């Protein structure tokens, strides 16, 4: 999430009651989760396992629970509980806004677009030109819908990320990472009925131009789906995954978190994509393999009884 305008590091330190080390006169431009940080961003780290990753990341500002050497060009905010400090900043700059209307006064709808009955448009939602939003669609705050987009009945756009800070030494193990990102759907996309697309934790979930969704598809937080992709019914994609252009995922494919699927890949129905796969190939099975190799394997498995019988006769 980018702030409306740059904020001084001294103000942030005062706001979260942090010790300030490094470049005290610098300006903070946003806050992000480690997978999406850019120069000017704040990130938090509260476990020694990830100290080095955060300190060497693109983030300029690190909220940390240990005083340590400050890398060149960076600023550290030292607090007892970095997670709570991070959430305090998120809630300040992206607070929950209640809405008393089905279509918020702060939402905008482009020329030629049709909004059917019982559609909910949250605060600061943007709908482009010539869109059709069918009945009972819910579009959460800050979502961005491009031009010529069709969204079918019962779909939910921009719901919170399923993402938690987990510690087993406290009464509540799973504390929610407040979602301050957006869901952005580009031009010429069609989303089927009963789909759910989560917004980013701190960045954007992106659906590329010309992509088509069947019904009952779930897309997790911070997923990037390329142009002209085809997703069949009951596909599920976990958070942070990157899917290239022209990818086809057939029915009930499950895709693991934070992996990549290359351009033009085709994944056959009910497959489980557990690790990154190259583009331009067809895949099948769980764990996934190239389609023709997997089919050959199944043929040999079917022959095992016949081979076993021959061995026993000798």
Residues known to be catalytic: 221
- 3 state SS of 53: helix
- How many other CB atoms are found less than 10 A from the CB of residue 142? 24
Q: Which of 100, 101, 132, 134 lies closest to 117, judged by CA?
A: 134
State the residue for tokens 């060149």. Answer: 72
Q: Which of 224, 230, 275, 280 lies closest to 250, judged by CA?
A: 230
Structure tokens that stand for 96 in this block: 């929950």
Q: Assess contact for 42 and 12: CB atoms under 8 A.
A: yes
Q: Assess contact for 261 and 255: CB atoms under 8 A.
A: yes
Q: Is the dihedral of CA 32, 37, 38, 43 positive or negative?
A: positive
Which residues sit opposite 218 in a β-bridge? Answer: 196, 236
Tally helices (H) and strands (E) across the chain.
5, 34
SS (H, E, C) 134-161: CCCCEECCCCEECCCCEECCCCEEEECC
Treating both helix axes as pointing N-terminal to C-terminal, what angle do 291-302 and 304-313 enclose, rounded to 10 degrees?
40
Q: Assess contact for 82 and 46: CB atoms under 8 A.
A: yes
Secondary element (H or E) of residue 85: helix 82-93
């Amino acid at each position: 999430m980018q702030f409306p305008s740059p904020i001084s590091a001294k103000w942030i330190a005062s706001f979260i009651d942090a010790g300030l080390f490094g470049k005290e006169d610098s300006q903070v431009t946003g806050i992000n989760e480690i997978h999406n940080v850019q120069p000017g961003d704040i990130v938090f780290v509260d476990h020694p396992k990830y100290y080095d990753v955060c300190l060497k990341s693109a983030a300029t500002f690190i909220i940390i629970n240990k005083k340590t050497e400050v890398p060149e060009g960076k600023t550290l905010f030292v607090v007892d509980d970095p997670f709570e400090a991070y959430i305090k900043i998120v809630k300040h700059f992206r607070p929950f806004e209640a809405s008393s209307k089905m279509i918020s006064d702060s939402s905008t709808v482009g020329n030629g677009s049709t909004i059917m009955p019982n559609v909910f448009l949250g605060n600061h939602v943007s709908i482009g030109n010539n869109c059709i939003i069918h009945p009972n669609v819910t579009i959460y705050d800050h979502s961005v819908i491009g031009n010529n987009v069709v969204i079918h009945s019962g779909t939910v756009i921009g719901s919170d990320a399923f993402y938690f800070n987990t510690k087993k030494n406290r009464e509540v193990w799973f504390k929610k990472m407040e979602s301050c990102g957006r869901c952005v759907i580009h031009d010429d996309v069609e989303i089927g009925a009963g789909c759910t697309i989560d917004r980013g934790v701190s960045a954007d979930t992106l659906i590329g131009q010309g992509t088509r969704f069947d019904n009952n598809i779930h897309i997790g937080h911070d997923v990037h789906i390329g142009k002209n992709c085809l997703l069949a019914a009951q596909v599920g994609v976990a958070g942070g995954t990157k899917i290239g252009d022209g990818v086809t995922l057939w029915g009930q494919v499950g895709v693991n978190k934070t992996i990549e699927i290359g351009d033009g890949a085709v994944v056959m129905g009910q497959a489980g994509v557990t690790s990154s796969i190259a583009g331009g190939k067809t895949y099948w099975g769980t764990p996934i393999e190239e389609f023709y190799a997997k089919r050959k394997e199944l043929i040999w498995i079917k022959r095992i009884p016949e081979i076993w019988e021959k061995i026993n006769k000798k």
